[in-house]
Amino acid sequence: MVKKTFESALTRLEQITEELEDGELSLDSSLKKFDEGIKLASYCSERLTKARAKVELLLEKDGKLENIPFNGSDSGNKALPEE
């Protein structure tokens, strides 16, 4: 059995989205794909929540949590804490 990863779940979710957007599936197939998509979205959301909690824990310093905004752009720029 292949272990599910965030990346594989997201890839499958993207495939399901494309299949549903094409509109060529039967109603029953669409409902099954939609159900699978909901489960995958829930899994991805749970994994992201856990990752965020882990990042916040790693950012904890001297018993205080420093709120450092995350810049998710692909430009490579890192957000710096405000002083």
Count of structural domains within the chain? 1
20 located within any domain: yes
- Residue 50 is part of which domain span? 6-62
DSSP H/E element including 64: strand 64-65
* pTM for the whole structure: 0.66
> Is there a contact between 79 and 73 (Cβ–Cβ < 8 Å)?
no
Domain assignment present for residue 69? The answer is no
In a domain, 47, yes or no: yes
The CATH number that applies at residue 42 is: 1.10.287
How does pLDDT run across 20-32, given as a tens digit for each residue? 999 999 999 999 9
Q: Is residue 67 part of a domain?
A: no
Pair 30, 20: CB distance under 8 Å: yes
Instruction: Please report which confidence band the pLDDT of residue 3 belongs to, taking 50, 70 and 90 as the band edges.
Output: confident
11 inside domain: yes
Judge whether 17 lies within some domain.
yes
> Rounded to whole angstroms, how far apart are CA atoms 33 and 17?
9
| Distance separating alpha carbons of residues 45 and 38, to the nearest angstrom | 10
